[in-house]
Amino acid sequence: MTSVPVRAPDPQAGATLAPQEKPASSSPPPARRSPIDRLAWLLVPVLAFYALTLAYPVVRLAAQSVPDGDPLRHYRTLLTEPLYLEALGRTFIYASVAMLGALIIGYPLAYLMSHGPRLARAVVTTLIVIPFFVALLVRTFGWMTIFARNGPINKLLLGLGVVDEPVQLMYTQQAVLLGMIAVLLPYMVLPLYTVMRRIDPRLTQAANGLGAGGPAAFAFVFLPLSIPGVLAGCVLVFMLGLGFFITPDLLGGSGEQVYPVLLNRTLTTAVGEPAFASAMSMVLLVASFIVLLAVSRVVPLSAIWRPESAAVSRRSGRALDAGWRRVNLLMRISRLPSIVYRAPGHVLAGVGLALCLVPMLAAVLMSFQRSTFAEFPSTDLTTDWYREFLADPRWVDAFLTSIRLGVVVALVVTTLSTLAALALVRGTFPGKDLIMGVIATPLIIPSVALAFGLYLVLFNLRLDGTFAGLVIGHAIPAVPLVTLILVANLRAFDYRLEQAARGLGASPLRAFLTVTLPVLRPGFLVAAFFGFLTSFDELVFTISLAGTGLRTLPLRLWEDLHVRFSPILAVVSVAEMLVVITVLGVVALMMRLRQRRTGMKGSIL
Amino acid sequence: MSSRAQLGGAATAPETNGSPAALRTPVEAGGSDGRQLRFTGVTKRYQDFEAVRGFDLDVRGGEFLTLLGPSGSGKTTVLSMVAGFQSPTAGSIHLGGQRLDRLPPERRDIGMVFQSYALFPHMTVQRNVAFPLRMRGIRGAELARRVSHAIDLVQLGAHSHKYPTQLSGGQQQRAALARAIVFEPPVLLMDEPLGALDRRLREAVQFELVNLHRQIASTIIYVTHDQDEALTMSDRIVIMNEGRIEQVGTPREIYASPANAFVATFMGESVEFRGRVERIADGICTLRSADGVHVQGRNGPGLAVGDEAVVVVRPERITLAPAADGTEAAGVSGQITEVLYMGQRSRYTVQIDGGSVLHLIRENTVGVASYAAGDDIVLRWAADEAVVLR
């Protein structure tokens, strides 16, 4: 929110993962009309990449899923067998519960991050950024140590005398749901925070001054303005929930599983039946597509990557006309001591923080435990597991492979995304919004449904089980993220600087290289680091593409978790967290540097 | 904060909806006026810095009072404490005899126009203006009547269905104003409301605000750092500096008789001569400046012979004459070193004999002699047109 509203809203202002934007003069002036701007060619590499890794795999899946003879055999099985139907239904229920749970907990958390007291704001934001980038797998591992039979929850219950013997926590529905809410929570908080940060705190003050007590000001002013973030977060978490198998697989055991878990197990075990695996993938893809279609009737899908669009909040403003009747009730609540109506939010935010941090702390604590089977936590500490980790070439190799892979992915993806971002920000051709939507697709469609299709394509290219194959797989989730960051960065750039360079005699290319690039360099580095982290944490495509030889750190961790449970896995988790924290530290430093040098503000989120 | 207010202020709060409307009658002479605002020793301290110190002021019911001062002088903090967005560290604020500073903002019934307007972006102008009335439980025909009355007052009728982002800066300003007056608050606060407008528009809106003030009869507390704005609109001006009140008075008093050097230099252009007091007689004080020049002015409070002081003269009170005009009257002689032509006016740079340099602005009107660089001149003013200050 700027104090002087800018007229003529830019049709694609802002992005979800956006550094703070300058309100004015950041977009290039409309150039002479030409049907296809030359800049549009810069999109070719990205679109070619998407054709190879998104479109073609889907075609392959579709073709593969209809065997000769009885083409619809597998679909019939999937749509009649209770095992699969129930799993599909369960998936929708779990995704809904995760979405609602994450919303209820994430909303107060995002509020605290954007409008809380200054200290709380800084602390909470820092604490939430780290879990956002720590791998899902590692955080799920943390939950496994907490839910364990000899784990802290059972220890507490026994100690308090609530139960006489340890309760079964692992492999229960409750564990899966709690784990899903906790692990997906950051994806709810991020869009909420992006939207809330733009809500001018003076609007709430103004509402107070005009006679609206805290609850009324919240209900009539803050809440409607935050609705775009709510919608974006809900769509994101629900879609992620539909394709989510890591946490349910590990916390849920073998019975009563969700569909993506069955799909992943089919992919990794029943390789003999590629047609069935393809049909399974297609069912999940079609189901997600139907959901997206239904959602897009209510929310423009572009709201997911730019949740601040004004149209949505206007609609929620009109919806208020029905809500005014509640004003007396709200005013009565306002008369209560503020602690009464603030307490629930504070409690929920505390729960949210705990859900994010406790599993990571548990993993750290676990890595220092001497015994594998005894009670956790215990005071019998050791660093032996760290020594064992460093002495085991399996782990060290996996760690180094992940780092190498991350660096290559970061370079490749940043190159692709820079070209795309330049075209999308500077270009003057029709359909930019649509192309942005295409580029964002991997963020919202289930990777697990694509994984087998990609495997088929790479197998034909003899890239399966190779380093290059993994680079391609890891680039799929990295491209949309890095492109969104770069688009936001380029938009924030003061275009007049480049105009000034042109006016002083520089050619367009020279102006870009000597003025734009140096100013934006920290932004590029930040984007590249996020590309690195995406690859470093990637597991879904890795499972399908790694073959038998290559092992990344998350993949090795995932495989070992299914075999044995040892504190050395906690050490692996700690190693992963350390890499993430180091990278985030560097990113934060560069953000500060950029702000000092160019005055462009930004935050990691 | 609001829990305390619940205990401490509930009984005195304007409980009934729309009650301030009853106070809208003209000021009853001498009686307690619900629009009177009293500050007693109001202090706002942050960790290591006092934004407002010992602020004492009585604001009369229905007056247009301007808080004027440089940025950081504490004027916006005073406004925030009246609105309830900040609470005083010490002291109290009373409105119409009722303690105000312990009430939460929503119970104070005070209108405020924010510098940024703070219009709700998800509501049309009409819904924005209706907001404070709805919060007071007003609905139906009464709501519609009062909303359209307020919108008509600010002449925004044609735009009432637009959203704030669809309005120009001036229209947004009016919408914010309509929203602040629609519930007829006894006090209306305005925090640099014209700051975001361009100069021409600002002047037009100044007159509209003064007109509006006559119609609504609320006490207005207006914050600005623009002296012209303060002089044109206010009944009284409070000059603030570093959290303190430097002077309170009508625009004329403040301009013609500044209480101290800060007020003199802050309010408009002034020409200053520093020196030591040589003689005080008949309320006229004579100073001898370091350059050896004698200058005179009205004696300020607490001055004695030998004190360091400064004579402050408004440039338009100074007459310029050629050096060799043969007049007896004493004056300060000097030479014009530079003339800057500015259309309606000219700006002369004058070097006083003895060294110091000063600037004078003269209207280029008929009958006023103009000078060129190099001319020797004499500056004269009537002794009671100048003030001698510490």
CA atoms within 13 A on the CB side of A536: 28
Q: What is the pLDDT of residues A522-546, one digit of tens each?
A: 788 888 988 999 999 899 999 989 8
Q: Is B132 on the interface with A (CB under 8 A)?
A: yes
B147 in Cβ contact with B121 (< 8 Å): no
Contacts A206 to B, Cβ<8 Å: 112, 114, 118, 120
Residues A54 and A86 in one domain: no
Whether B196 has its CB under 8 Å from any CB of chain A: the answer is: yes
Tokens of A404: 């190498």
Confidence at residue A154, expressed as pLDDT on a 0 to 100 scale: 86
Q: What is the pLDDT of residues B53-77, one digit of tens each?
A: 999 999 998 899 999 988 888 899 9
Q: How far is A338 from chain B (nearest CA, A)?
A: 6
Q: How far is B249 from chain A (nearest CA, A)?
A: 29
- Asked if residue B333 belongs to a domain, the reply is yes
Nearest by Cα to A364 from A145, A59, A53:
A145
Chain A CB within 8 Å of residue B201 CB: no
B56 is a domain residue: yes
Locate the chain A residue with the closest alpha carbon to B115. Answer: A3
Q: Are residues A212 and A330 in the same domain?
A: yes
**Which one, of A322, A302, A426, A337, lies nearest residue A39 by Cα?**
A426
Burial of A229 (0-12, 13-18, 19+ CB in 10 A): buried
pLDDT given at position A11: 37
Q: Can you list the positions of beta strands (E) in chain B?
A: 37-46, 49-59, 64-68, 90-95, 98-99, 110-113, 187-191, 219-224, 236-241, 244-249, 271-281, 284-289, 294-298, 308-313, 319-322, 332-341, 345-352, 357-363, 376-380, 387-389
Same domain, A171 and A219: yes
In chain B, residues with a C-beta closer than 8 Å to the C-beta of A309 are none
B199 vs chain A: nearest CA distance in angstroms?
16
Rounded to a whole number of angstroms, the distance from the CA of A243 to the nearest CA of chain B is 35
Boundary residue ending a domain (B193, B222, B256): B256
- If asked whether residues B245 and B369 sit together in one domain, one would say no
Which of the listed residues B256, B281, B299 is the one where a domain comes to its end?
Answer: B256
Token pair for A467: 């380093």
> According to the model, what pLDDT value does residue B19 have?
39
Alpha-carbon span A213 to A207, nearest angstrom:
8
Q: Which residue has 């990205």 as its token pair?
A: A46
Instruction: Please give the average per-residue pLDDT across A314-332, as a whole number.
Output: 76
Claim to verify: residue A424 and residue A312 sit in the same structural domain: no
Contacts with B135 from chain A: Cβ below 8 Å = 210-212, 216, 327, 331
Q: Does B152 touch chain A (CB under 8 A)?
A: no
A127 occurs within a structural domain: yes
A10 within domain boundaries = no
Q: Chain A partners of B84 at a C-beta cutoff of 8 Å?
A: 208-209
Whether residue A167 sits in one domain with residue A85 = yes
Q: pLDDT digit string (tens) for B241-274?
A: 998 999 999 998 888 888 888 888 888 777 888 8
In a domain, A3, yes or no: no
Same domain, A115 and A33: no
Phi then psi for residue B37, to 5 deg, are: -120, 130
Domain harbouring A487, CATH code: 1.10.3720.10
| Sign of the four-CA dihedral A211, A217, A219, A225 | positive
Q: Does the pLDDT of residue B5 top 50, yes or no?
A: no
pLDDT of residue A16: 37
**Confidence check: pLDDT of A35 > 60:** no
Model confidence at A593, in pLDDT bands (50, 70, 90)?
Answer: confident
In Å, what is the CA distance from B164 to each residue of A575, B116, B123?
51, 12, 8
C-alpha A202/C-alpha A190 separation (Å) is 22
**With pLDDT > 70 as the criterion, what percentage of chain B qualifies?**
89
Of A366, A394, A427, which residue is a domain's last? A366
In a domain, A211, yes or no: yes
Nearest residue of chain A to residue B184 (CA atoms): A210
B197 touching A, CB under 8 A?
Answer: no
Give the DSSP letter of residue A219. I
Q: Please state the rounded mean pLDDT for residues A326-347.
A: 83
Is there a single domain that holds both residue B21 and residue B104?
yes
- Judge whether B83 is closer than 8 Å to chain A, CB to CB: yes
| B261 in any annotated domain | no
Residues in chain B: 390
Looking at the structure, tell me whether residues B198 and B51 fall in a common domain: yes
Mean pLDDT for the stretch of residues B107-115: 89
Q: Is B356 left (phi over 0), alpha (psi -120 to 50) or beta?
A: beta
Shared domain for B87 and B211, answered yes or no, is yes
For residue B136, is it within any domain? no
Q: Specify whether B305 is located in the same domain as B359.
A: yes
Phi, then psi, of B368 in degrees rounded to 5: -100, 125
Q: Residue B10's closest CA among B106, B107, B124?
A: B107
Question: Tell me, what CATH number does B361's domain have?
Answer: 2.40.50.100
Helix (H) or strand (E) holding B302: none
Residue B15 banded pLDDT, cuts 50, 70, 90: very low
- Selecting from A203, A211, A338 the residue whose C-beta is nearest the C-beta of B135 gives A211
Q: Is residue A11, in this structure, part of any structural domain at all? A: no
| Residue bearing the bigger pLDDT, A536 or A566 | A536
Report CB contact under 8 Å: B104, A313.
Answer: no
Q: What is the pLDDT of residue A313?
A: 65
Tens of pLDDT along A234-292?
Answer: 998 999 999 999 999 989 877 788 999 989 888 887 655 888 889 999 999 999 999 98
pLDDT more than 90, % of chain A: 30
Residue labelled with tokens 């978790």? A561
Q: Which of A109-123, A506-520, A588-602 has the highest mean pLDDT?
A: A109-123
Are residues A208 and B85, on separate chains, in Cβ contact within 8 Å?
yes
pLDDT computed for residue A311 by the predictor: 61
Query: Are residue A348 and residue A398 in the same domain, yes or no?
Result: no
Give the pLDDT confidence score for residue A305 in this predicted structure.
Answer: 66
Higher pLDDT among residues A21 and A322, named by residue: A322
Q: Where are the alpha helices (DSSP H) in A218-337?
A: 223-242, 246-252, 259-269, 274-298, 310-323, 327-335
Residue B326 has what pLDDT?
59
Q: How confident is the model at residue A24 (pLDDT cuts 50, 70, 90)?
A: very low
| A69-94 tens-digit pLDDT | 888 888 998 889 888 999 999 999 99
Better pLDDT: B240 or B380: B240
DSSP structural state of residue B304 = -
Q: What is the mean pLDDT of residues B74-88?
A: 91
Same domain, B284 and B244: no
HSE value, Cβ hemisphere, 13 Å, CA-based, for B122: 28
3-state secondary structure A350-396: HHHHHHHHHHHHHHHHHCCECCCCCCCCCCCECCHHHHHHHHCHHHH
Asked if pLDDT for residue A302 goes beyond 50, the answer is: yes
Instruction: Report pLDDT for A169.
Output: 85
Statement: residue A396 has pLDDT above 80: yes
Residues B58 and B205 reside in one and the same domain: yes
Other beta carbons less than 10 A from residue A539's beta carbon: 19
* A150, A249: one domain: yes
A283 and A334 both lie in a single domain:
yes
Q: Respond yes or no on whether the N-terminal peptide bond of residue A377 is cis (omega within 30° of 0).
A: yes
User: Please, where are the H alpha helices in A427-516?
Assistant: 432-444, 447-460, 467-492, 495-503, 508-511
Of A366, A398, A422, which one is at a domain's C-terminal end?
A366
Residue A23 lies in a domain: no
Looking at residue B332, its amino acid is V
Whether the pLDDT of residue B301 is over 80: the answer is: no
User: Lowest-pLDDT range, A366-370, A375-379, B244-248?
Assistant: A375-379
Same domain? B383 vs B301: yes
Total count of domains within chain B:
2
Q: Which residue of A has its CA nearest to B79?
A: A209
User: Which residues are registered as beta bridge partners of A476?
Assistant: none
Residue B147 lies in a domain: no
Q: Are residues B208 and B89 in the same domain?
A: yes
CATH number, residue B218: 3.40.50.300
- The reply to whether A21 falls in a domain is no
Burial of B136 (0-12, 13-18, 19+ CB in 10 A): buried
pLDDT of residue A6: 35
**Residue A415 and residue A307 share a domain:** no
Question: Please, what is the angle between helix A567-598 and helix A384-391, to 10°?
Answer: 80
Shared domain for B206 and B81, answered yes or no, is yes
Tell whether B148 is covered by a domain. no
A309 is a domain residue: yes
Contact of B2 with chain A, judged by CB distance below 8 Å, is answered with yes
Interval B202-250: pLDDT, tens: 888 888 888 888 888 889 999 988 888 888 889 999 999 998 999 999 9
Q: Which domain holds residue A502?
A: 29-64+382-605
Q: What is the pLDDT of residues A474-485, one digit of tens each?
A: 999 999 999 988
Q: Are residues B288 and B340 in the same domain?
A: yes
- CA nearest to A9 within chain B: B165
Residue B52 lies in a domain: yes
A 10 A CB-CB count for A162 gives 9
Interface test with A, best of B110, B135, B166 (most A CBs within 10 A): B135
Q: Is residue B231 part of a domain?
A: yes
Judgement on whether residues B239 and B290 belong to the same structural domain of the protein: no
Domain membership of residue B308 as a residue range: 273-389
**Domain final residue, candidates B194, B227, B256:** B256
Residues A522 and A418 in one domain: yes
Residues A488-521: tens digit of each pLDDT: 888 877 777 888 888 787 888 888 888 888 878 8
d(CA B196, CA B169): 7
Question: Same domain, yes or no, for A290 and A396?
Answer: no
Burial (Cβ within 10 Å: 0-12, 13-18, ≥19) of residue B257: middle
Q: How many CB pairs under 8 A join A and B?
A: 113
User: Within an 8 Å CB–CB cutoff, is residue B163 touching chain A?
Assistant: yes
Question: Worst-scoring range by mean pLDDT, A24-33, A36-45, B104-113, B319-328?
Answer: A24-33
If one counts the domains in chain A, the total is: 2
ipTM, two decimals: 0.76
A249, with CB counted inside 10 A (0-12, 13-18, 19+), is buried
Give the pLDDT confidence score for residue B8 in this predicted structure. 34
**Is the predicted pLDDT of residue A300 greater than 80, yes or no?**
no
- Give the residue from B85, B84, B66 showing the smallest Cα distance to B75: B66
